Amino acid sequence: MQSIFLLLGLFADAISASPLEQQPLGHVSPTELPGQLAEDLHPDRLYKPGTSIDRSCHRGNGPAGYLGAEGTDCDSPLSLVNATYRWIEENLKDEIDFVIWTGDSVRHDNDEKLPRTADEIVELNAFLSQKWISIFGEEEVDESSNAVPKMSIPVIPTFGNNDIMPHNIFNKGPNKWTKRFAEIWNLFIPEDQRHTFVEGGWFTAEVVPGRLAVISLNTMYFFDSNSAVDGCNAKSEPGYEHMEWLRVQLKILRSRNMKAILIGHVPPARSSGKKNWDETCWQKYTLWMHQYRDVVVSSFYGHMNIDHFMLQDSNKVNIVSKVDGKVSTSSKTDYLQSLRNQWSSLPSPPSGVFEEFDSASDSGDFSEVEPAKKDKGGKNKDKKKQKFLDKIGGPWAERYSVSLVSPSVVPNFFPSLRVIDYNITGLDGVDSFTHGFVEATYGVDHAAMDMPETSDDSLISPEIQKKKKKGKDKKKKPKFKVPEPPSSTAPPGPAYSNQPFTLLGYTQYYSNLTKLYEKIAAGEQGDDPRIDYEIEYTTNDDVYQMKDLTVRSFFQLAARIGEEGAEEKYTGDISSEGVDAAVKKKKPANDVWRTFLRRAFVGFPVDDLDE
C-alpha cells in the first residue's frame, strides 16, 4: 500500500496571502498514496514574450516564448506559473497527500537595469502561498464571513537563496526575513513552531500525526556562499544552533517512535567538482543521518536545477579534525562526472549478491545475506560476501545515506515536477494531518540538549581510527554532543528496508516547450494553448530498475552509473561502410550513465553526452 506527495519549487506575481489554518485530512486511505515535491520555479513578472534571451527576457527582440524560454537563463513567466498550478489542480489535487515546497519563489537578480526589491520578494512569495491556498483551500470565504478557511493537505515550505536579498546572504535570526516569512507562511507553519521559525527559519510539521514529520531546514546557514555566517562549528554560529536543534528534533522523534523527512533548498553536494555546504555542516549532517538512520526516511532539495542524487558516506565523517573542503568550480556536466567518479570507487559487489538482497527482501529472510559465518575450521564460507557487506554497512548499506535533488519548473531545460509514492501499510484509520500539536513538542528542549550523548571513537570513521591505532594521534573527543546510534536490536529504518513510509518510487513529469511551440506555430493549439506535463520517466523503468527508493537501491544504481563499461566497439568495416555508418552502429559504453545524464537535464538536448 502506498501514498504520494508532491515536490515543487516556485516563483510568481504579487498577491497577499489570507490567514488560513491547515486542518485534518480525515483518515489515511489503505492504499498507495502520492505526495508532491515542489522545486524551484523562479517566477518573473517582468518576463515578456518575444524579447531577447540575452536581456533576461525583459526587453529587446528575441525568441522568448509565451510559456518560457527553455534552455536559457531566463526565469519563468507568470503564464508558466499559472499553467503549472492549473495542471496540478486538474490532475493531482485529489491524489496527493502533502506538498514539499523547496524554495526560490522569486526571479534571479540578474538584470542590472531592473534590480529586485525586498517588496518584490515578499509579494511573489505571498502570491505563491495564495496559489496553494486556492488549490487546497476547503471552503470559500467572502468578505462578510467570519469563518476561517481550511487547508485540505499540508504544504511545507523552506527558504531559498533567492528568497532573500542580497541573494545568498542570510544573517543570524531573528531577522527581517524570518519575521516577514512567518507572516507569509503563517498557515503552513504549526502554531507552536512559529517562535522557532522566527528565531532561525526552521520548523517541524507532522504530516501523519504521531507517525511522520517533515523537518524544514534553513540551509542558508549551511550554504558555503552565505558570507554572513561561518559554518556549524562555533557555538556562536546559527549553523551550530541549527544542527543542535535538528539533533534534538530527531532525538524526540525517535523517542516517540516517529519517522522524519528532511527538506531544504541547497543540497549537501560534496565532490571534487562541487561543494555547496560549509564542511563543518556537511560533517555534522552526515553524522546525524548515520546516527538517526532508524528515524530519517529521506531528504529532498532543489537549488541546482538538475535531476540527480547524492550518497553521503559516513566513513568520510571526521568529527575531530579540521578537513580541507576546498574544491574547484565546474560546469553541471563536470559536476555530474565527478559524482560518477566517486561512484566508480564504491565497494564492488560479488556476483549475484544484489539478486540475493532482492530475493531476501521479498521473503523477509536475510539469513543468506547476513555477514558470512565461520565454519568449524574458522574459515569464512564466503569471504567476498562478508568483506563486501562489512564495507557497505551490512545488507542494508547503512554506511550511506541519500539526498535527492529535483529539477525545477523554471525552464533552464524543460519545466518539471515530481510525484513521489511512499508506503502506508498498516496506517489504516490514522489521521493524516492536523495542526493540533502539543505546545512546545518540537521547541529547542534545553534539557534534552544537555543530556549526555555518545562521544567516543565508535563514531569516528574506520579510516581515521586506523590512523589513531598507529599511535601518532592523541585521542580527541568532539566538542559537541554526538547522537546515540540506533539500538543494536533495532531493525533498519524506512530509508533502508521497505516498511511504512519507505519511498517506493517517483514519477518525473516534464513539459516539452519546444514541441508545444512547434504545435502552436502549426496552428494545432487553438486560441488557448495549454501546457501539459507528461511522464519523462519512472524509477522502476527498464533503465533504473529500482524496486524502491531505499539507500541500497540508490547504491546499486550509483554502482551501475559508475561502471566504466566495455570499450565502444564498431560493428562494421569503416573502410567499406564509411565513418557515418560505423558511428551509427557503435554501442555506448554505459547506457545507465548516459540515461542518468540525459535525465539530469530533463531530456533537454545537451552537447556533452559522450563518455
Half-sphere exposure of 585 (CA within 13 A, CB side): 12
**Range with the poorest average pLDDT among 66-80, 375-389, 555-569:** 375-389
What percent of the chain is predicted at pLDDT more than 90?
61
| Separation between Cα atoms, residue 19 and residue 187, nearest integer Å | 6
Res 10: pLDDT: 37
Question: Is the separation of the CB atoms in 197 and 182 below 8 Å?
Answer: yes
Residue indicated by cell numbers 571534487: 272
Res 337: pLDDT: 94
Question: How confident is the model over 363-389, as a mean pLDDT?
Answer: 65
Res 438: pLDDT: 35
Which set of grid coordinates corresponds to residue 349? Answer: 559487489
Question: Is the separation of the CB atoms in 417 and 6 below 8 Å?
Answer: yes
Residue type, 487: S
Residue type, 115: P
pLDDT at 220 over 90: yes
Res 249: pLDDT: 98
| Separation between Cα atoms, residue 521 and residue 228, nearest integer Å | 49
Categorize the per-residue pLDDT at 339 as very low, low, confident or very high, splitting at 50, 70 and 90. Answer: very high
Mean per-residue pLDDT over the chain, rounded: 82
Res 351: pLDDT: 84
Supply the pTM of this predicted model.
Answer: 0.85
| Separation between Cα atoms, residue 460 and residue 286, nearest integer Å | 12
**Cα of 593 vs its chain's centroid, Å:** 20
DSSP string, 308-352: EEEEEEGGG--SSS----------HHHHHHHHHHHHTTSPPPPTT
As separate numbers, helices (DSSP H) first and strands (DSSP E) second, the chain gives 16, 19
Residue type, 446: H
Strands 270-271 and 274-275: antiparallel
pLDDT at 445 over 50: no
Categorize the per-residue pLDDT at 566 as very low, low, confident or very high, splitting at 50, 70 and 90. Answer: very low
Which set of grid coordinates corresponds to residue 64? Answer: 522568448
Question: Is the separation of the CB atoms in 406 and 302 below 8 Å?
Answer: yes
| Model confidence pLDDT, tens digit, residues 1-51 | 677 777 764 332 222 233 334 433 333 343 344 555 566 788 999 999 999
| Separation between Cα atoms, residue 478 and residue 147, nearest integer Å | 53
| Model confidence pLDDT, tens digit, residues 507-523 | 999 999 999 999 988 88
| Model confidence pLDDT, tens digit, residues 518-548 | 998 888 877 777 888 999 999 999 999 999 9
Res 149: pLDDT: 60
Burial of 9 (0-12, 13-18, 19+ CB in 10 A): buried
pLDDT at 396 over 70: yes
Q: Rounded to 10 degrees, what is the CA torsion of 132, 135, 139, 140?
A: 90
| Separation between Cα atoms, residue 248 and residue 383, nearest integer Å | 40
Q: Where are the alpha helices (DSSP H) in 173-221?
A: 176-184, 194-200
Which residues in 548-583 are b (16+ Cβ under 10 Å) and which e? bbbbbbbbbbbbbbbbebeeeeeeeeeeeeeeeebe
Question: How confident is the model over 185-204, as a mean pLDDT?
Answer: 96
The residues with which 99 forms a beta bridge, in sequence order, are 6, 155
Q: For the beta carbon of residue 169, count every other beta carbon within 10 angstroms.
A: 15
CA angle, 268 as apex, 126 and 467 as ends, to 5°? 155
| Model confidence pLDDT, tens digit, residues 311-334 | 999 999 987 655 555 555 568 889
Res 571: pLDDT: 39
| Model confidence pLDDT, tens digit, residues 145-163 | 555 567 789 999 999 999 9
| Model confidence pLDDT, tens digit, residues 53-71 | 999 999 999 999 999 999 9
**Range with the poorest average pLDDT among 54-68, 365-379, 397-411:** 365-379
Res 108: pLDDT: 94
Which has more confidence, 102 or 530?
102
Spans of all domains in the chain: 565-611
Strands 296-301 and 259-263: parallel
DSSP, res 568: P
Res 146: pLDDT: 56
Q: At what angle do helices 176-184 and 118-136 cross, to 10 degrees?
A: 30
Residues near 106 by Cβ (< 8 Å), separated by ≥ 6? 11, 42, 43, 116, 120, 121, 124, 125, 162, 163
| Separation between Cα atoms, residue 133 and residue 517, nearest integer Å | 31
Categorize the per-residue pLDDT at 179 as very low, low, confident or very high, splitting at 50, 70 and 90. Answer: very high
pLDDT at 455 over 90: no
| Model confidence pLDDT, tens digit, residues 567-585 | 333 334 434 444 344 444 4
Which has more confidence, 307 or 351?
307
